Structure 1
């Protein structure tokens, strides 16, 4: 997806039942994956007046919201076939693995319908993302 901050919005939705450490992990892993997958989401490096370089940051607000696990699954199902959206599911399976190789092997033998989601990243048209997430509370 070619992200345009004037046209698009993004959001991270975290399972509200996760302990704080796992919630932080889910948000950070999903955020890193967003940065890699969405072209133009991360701005260019900038320099301060005194020449210190600061790496590029996200070019749009990124609210971190919370929802129950079943709501994450429902949102994932609703969004999966919408080609205007970028949908980034993060599963409990992924969070339980100690290496990417382990995740790859275990995922290969698992039906997606059986995966419990612990986080969901969404990006797409502003109105669509607002409609999908407008009733969710900020993560606290």
Structure 2
């Protein structure tokens, strides 16, 4: 007997203080890594009536929500035991050099990291409880 896989939910929560350009960048970085880690979430290719194919997209959607810096840190900590978490620390937008980014993270104790965005993938009900109080980023 096959067990039915629980429905998954994918959500990204971004720092509400970011301007649209920085917020878009943070969401894109997190989404790219989520896609790599959860390739099964990508749907079938889209086909036009003439047969032209387009890459598959995520059929469950990805709400982008907003939170304060403090809420992002708390959300990350609460989520670690319940779902997959992809976080994007503030140091990621301080440089365009990935090695400098790695060095900057290595110099900071984990408990004092601050985040620009957090991506979550996990059981629908669990993720829903974790992000239930957040509004859409607009």
TM-score (normalizing by structure 2): 0.89
**Inter-partner Cα distance in structure 1 for 2:44 and 2:98:** 28
SS in 2 for 1:17: coil
Matches within 5 A, 1:45-60: 45-60=45-60
Alignment of 1:107-126 (within 5 A): 107-126=105-124
The superposition leaves residues 64-110 of structure 1 with CA deviations (integer Å, 9 ceiling, x where unpaired) of: 00011100011111122x1x400111111112221222212222222
CA–CA distance in structure 2, aligned partners of residues 114 and 6 of structure 1: 34
The aligned counterpart of 1:39 is 39
Could you say what secondary structure the match of 2:17 adopts?
coil
Distance 1:7 1:19 in 2: 33
* Long gaps (5+) in structure 1: none
- Counterpart residue number, 2:77: 77
How far apart, in 2, do the equivalents of 1:63 and 1:44 lie?
20
| 1:6 positional shift | 5.6
2:131 corresponding residue in structure 1: 133
Task: Within 5 Å, give how 1:21-36 maps onto structure 2.
Answer: 21-36=21-36
